[in-house]
Each structure stands twice: as C-alpha cells, then as structure tokens.
Structure 1
Amino acid sequence: MGDSKKLVVYGATWCPDARRSRKFLDDKGIAYEWIDIDQDPAGKDYVKKVNNGKVIIPTILFEDGSTIVEPSNEELAEKLGI
C-alpha cells in the first residue's frame, strides 16, 4: 500500500504529534523525508515561514507544494487519498 508521493515531515523527536504522524506513515508504508528541526536550522526556518512565524510541528510538505500542520491520522489519510 505504498505511495509514490514525496513527503517531507518537519518535526522533532520530542514531539508526540510528530512521532504519531511518522508511525502512521511507517505503518502505511509511505516513504517520506524526516527533517528534525532541532538539528536543521533551515528546516526550522521553513516551518516558521509556512506557519506565520510560529514553530508548529509536525508540518508536512507534499510533492504538490501544499502543507498540512498537526494533522490527525484521519486528516493525513484523507490528504494522501488512502
């Protein structure tokens, strides 16, 4: 049930919502790039840019350029069409 869409998940290891989103994607076999904003200043800057200056994670970037912020598993599944 893999998906060819390229996802980028911006988050932090300490964030329970980021861990949940990653587990959901892993369980569904969906490939993504993980960017830990605590280790990647450019990633943190991107999160701030798309969230009006706020650090809100997880912020998930889709191949089409759209983002979803702090999604529930249901919202993520809907966005992915699964």
Structure 2
Amino acid sequence: MADTRKVEIYTKWGCPYCFRAKALLDGKGVTYEEIDVTMGGPKKAEMLERAPGHATVPSIFIDGAHVGGSDDLAALEAAGKLDAMLAP
C-alpha cells in the first residue's frame, strides 16, 4: 500500500495503544506522519481542536478525517473497511 491517503497519528511516548495502531499501519505498509504530544503544548492543543471530545492517544486521521483511536482503527480493519479508506 505504498500509495495511500495522508495518514496522521498523534502519539505519546510509551503508549501501548499508539504502538498497536502504528504496528497495524506498518503491517499494511502505510506511510504516516507521527505527531508526538507527550509533552503537551501546541500539538496537543491542535489534536484536541481537530478531534473535539477525543482527548486520548492515539488520535488517527486519514485525509483530515478523524477515524478515532487504536480500537477504532482495529475495528475498521476487522470489518474490512480500512483498506478502502486508505486507497488513493
């Protein structure tokens, strides 16, 4: 899946859910931008603004649309919907 939509994932250091979400994307060969919000600051504020009501990490976006966290990403994969969302 070298040619995919833009994927962004907000993460924190040591987060097992972040690791799981990245492992799923890595397993699919998806290139993504990882945005570390371990220390809070402007990037954390950006994440909260982009996904109101979703204050935990990971917070995953595909082409600017918030898809949720690790469990949400896994559910999309289990339902067979993730590949279609990632297709260009």
Say whether the fold is shared (TM-score over 0.5).
yes
Percent identity, please.
24
TM-score of the two chains, using structure 2 as the length reference:
0.73
Greater than 4 Å deviation, 4+ residue runs: none
* Structure (1 or 2) with the greater helix fraction: 2
Q: Distance in 2 between matches of 1:51 and 1:38?
A: 18
Q: Distance in 2 between matches of 1:41 and 1:51?
A: 16
Structure 2 CA distance for partners of 1:31 and 1:40, relative to 1, 3 Å:
farther
Residue segments in structure 1 that go unaligned for 5+ positions in a row: none
Q: Give RMSD over aligned pairs.
A: 2.2
Question: How many residues align structurally?
Answer: 80
What are the Cα deviations for residues 31-67 of structure 1, in whole angstroms up to 9, with x where unaligned? 0000111156222112222133x5211111111x210
Q: Distance in 2 between matches of 1:3 and 1:40?
A: 31
Partner amino acid for 1:14? G
Structure 2 CA distance for partners of 1:46 and 1:80, relative to 1, 3 Å:
farther
